[in-house]
Structure 1
Amino acid sequence: MDHYAVFGNPIAHSKSPQIHRWFAEQTGQQLDYQALLAPVDDFEGSARQFFDQGGLGANVTVPFKLDALVFCDQLSPRARRAGAVNTLQKGKNNEIYGDNTDGVGLVRDLTGQLGFNLHNKRVLLLGAGGASRGVVEPLLKAGVAKLKIANRTPEKAQQLVQIFHGLQPDAELSAGNWASLAGSQYDLILNATSASLSGDLPPLPDGLLAPGALAYDLMYARQPTPFMEWAIQQGATTVADGLGMLVEQAAEAFFLWRQVRPDTAPVLLRLRQQLQE
């Protein structure tokens, strides 16, 4: 039996074992997938032990995505630019390869499950932390016309602009604080701040949503998040949470490991039903 895992702290809440079991059933793959609690100060020790004992691949969640970056022998270009790793794979000569599937998971959910065409769209990304770093490149490569990164401290957002500047020359990439958003409109607003975790919301001005706009929270919960409730009040045409992104980034990792791409729609539906229960 091939062994895979997800590392995090805490980790008991993780949906990843369930998602990958459903993927394996659907595609006829024989594998075992476990949730592993790593000590906050020793991700490397836990990951090393897992791979030494025959593990073939792993997902990495909070707070270890930067530790995983350092742990890897090789990095994909998108993981290097994102500065974070959420997928590990044992390669030739037992070298560990690191990738970041978060951004491609988001884009697949937006374009596939939600049917949203990103080409030439004006996009606002709220937050400049680790979640944002993973999604900037795939959004630019999907052909957005404009991407603004807004953060409480604009310097942090500006750092992201510098990292990804020139990656897609046609796209306008900019940064600012919350106040800088007044008077502008966007076709897509992505909340990548941790505010939803604490039941909070960044101080956003009214009128940010263009006609037909989509508002998307990278967090997910049983109930709509404060950001989603704000977007509904502001007249968003479509409002979504990050459950689809979770499933799609998992599918990308599954494909990297097994070279088989699972059908995400039925898995997302089962997960949504489970969450509502």
Structure 2
Amino acid sequence: MDNYIVDFAVFGNPISHSKSPIVHNIFSKKYNIKKNYISFLVFEKNFYLILDSFFKNFGKGANITAPFKENAFIYSDIITENARVSGSVNTLKKLKNGKILGDNTDGMGLLYDLNRIKFLKEKCNILILGAGGVVRGILQPLLSLGNSIYILNRTKKKAENLKIEFSKYGSIEVFKKENKKNIFFDLLINAIPLGGIEDFSNILNGVLHTKINCYDICYRLGGLTPFLFFCKKKLVNNIHDGIGMLVAQAAYSFSLWHNIFPEIDPIISILKK
């Protein structure tokens, strides 16, 4: 990394699919900020060493994607309230004193996009697939609206841990099979990787209905994600991917670094084209 003058970057594994460099470089060009932003593939064994090298050289800010958001929380010297509540970090900023500030913009990005597409209501029933770092980032903002959240995850223990940790913010439960029959879900959010819903197909068959809103945090430009394709086959009318969340959470990161909150909607349109 010493051979590169890189101011900002996104770190994750996998990373080749990431559109964050495109988004942030468009932001920088629009506001005449001459900074480089690229992506780095990292591994568990060298995550901290790579970040140390980045920030000791030219690095000023970083985005962290799966599966390292909880590692980034540990790495941070100072954390924001959003990061503290979620226990995960997706945005890092090097402060003037050399300390690293950790923030989480996932929840704000999701709320922005759900409001944009009119998927968000207060006091509704929400089923979330997954229990990873991105879920940790979105739970408190969703609970703050009085929604009832149910977590469905392959590893039940992780879902139970989230229930214990976040129950102080509102109504959160681990999804049970009988919930298929006795709960009408208004919103279904997929927060597991592309192609990872096979284990849940039987459960989803009992949850999906024509009026439910289905949102995939993942995205596939030019087509539907496997999750949204599955929902569409079940005649769900309202489906949406996470490209808007990607741009919105990036905008909040950009604002943390540059004190400028960029326009979001035009970038969403550019990416879709």
Partner Cα separation in structure 2 for residue 197 and residue 235 of structure 1: 19
> Are residue 121 (structure 1) and residue 120 (structure 2) matched?
no
Conserved in 2, the CA contact under 8 Å of 1:187 and 1:211? no
Partner Cα separation in structure 1 for residue 186 and residue 197 of structure 2: 24
Cα offset, 1:188, TM superposition: 0.6
Conserved in 2, the CA contact under 8 Å of 1:6 and 1:34? yes
Cα–Cα, structure 1 residues 120 and 22, in superposed 2: closer, same or farther, change >3 Å? Answer: same
Please, which of 108, 128, 147 is the counterpart of residue 145 of structure 1? 147
Residue 226 of structure 1 aligns to which amino acid in structure 2? P
Conserved in 1, the CA contact under 8 Å of 2:195 and 2:226? no
Give the 3-state SS of the residue equivalent to 1:97 in structure 2. Answer: strand
Residue 161 of structure 1 aligns to which amino acid in structure 2? K
Please, which of 8, 13, 23 is the counterpart of residue 12 of structure 2? 8
> Are residue 37 (structure 1) and residue 41 (structure 2) matched?
yes
> Are residue 175 (structure 1) and residue 150 (structure 2) matched?
no
Partner Cα separation in structure 2 for residue 10 and residue 192 of structure 1: 16
**Corresponding residue pairs, total:** 266
Please state which structure has a larger fraction of its residues in strand. 1
Structure 2 unaligned runs (5+)?
A: none
Partner Cα separation in structure 2 for residue 23 and residue 211 of structure 1: 37
**Which residue in the other structure is 1:200 paired with?**
198
Partner Cα separation in structure 1 for residue 86 and residue 47 of structure 2: 19
Give the 3-state SS of the residue equivalent to 2:198 in structure 1. Answer: coil
1:12-49 deviation digits (Å, cap 9, x = unpaired):
33211110011112233232212223343111111111
Conserved in 1, the CA contact under 8 Å of 2:90 and 2:103? yes
TM-score by length of 2: 0.88
Partner Cα separation in structure 1 for residue 196 and residue 131 of structure 2: 17
Give the 3-state SS of the residue equivalent to 1:41 in structure 2. Answer: helix
Partner Cα separation in structure 2 for residue 79 and residue 180 of structure 1: 34
Conserved in 2, the CA contact under 8 Å of 1:2 and 1:30? no
Cα offset, 1:52, TM superposition: 1.2
**Which residue in the other structure is 2:162 paired with?**
160
Partner Cα separation in structure 2 for residue 130 and residue 120 of structure 1: 24
Conserved in 1, the CA contact under 8 Å of 2:195 and 2:227? no
Partner Cα separation in structure 1 for residue 11 and residue 204 of structure 2: 38
Partner Cα separation in structure 2 for residue 208 and residue 39 of structure 1: 37
**Which residue in the other structure is 1:227 paired with?**
227
1:131-173 deviation digits (Å, cap 9, x = unpaired):
32221111112x14311112234332121111111224xxx32
Cα offset, 1:58, TM superposition: 0.6
Cα–Cα, structure 1 residues 2 and 10, in superposed 2: closer, same or farther, change >3 Å? Answer: closer
**Which residue in the other structure is 1:253 paired with?**
253
Give the 3-state SS of the residue equivalent to 1:224 in structure 2. Answer: coil
Cα–Cα, structure 1 residues 38 and 229, in superposed 2: closer, same or farther, change >3 Å? Answer: closer
Residue 3 of structure 1 aligns to which amino acid in structure 2? D
RMSD: 2.2
**Which residue in the other structure is 2:53 paired with?**
49
Conserved in 2, the CA contact under 8 Å of 1:59 and 1:88? yes
Conserved in 2, the CA contact under 8 Å of 1:6 and 1:60? yes
Give the 3-state SS of the residue equivalent to 1:174 in structure 2. Answer: strand
TM-score by length of 1: 0.87
> Are residue 74 (structure 1) and residue 78 (structure 2) matched?
yes
> Are residue 132 (structure 1) and residue 135 (structure 2) matched?
yes
**Which residue in the other structure is 1:264 paired with?**
264
Identity %: 36
Partner Cα separation in structure 2 for residue 22 and residue 127 of structure 1: 31
Conserved in 2, the CA contact under 8 Å of 1:76 and 1:97? yes
Give the 3-state SS of the residue equivalent to 1:115 in structure 2. Answer: coil
Conserved in 1, the CA contact under 8 Å of 2:104 and 2:137? yes
After alignment, is 263-272 or 9-18 more displaced? 9-18
Conserved in 2, the CA contact under 8 Å of 1:181 and 1:205? no
Structure 1 unaligned runs (5+)?
A: none
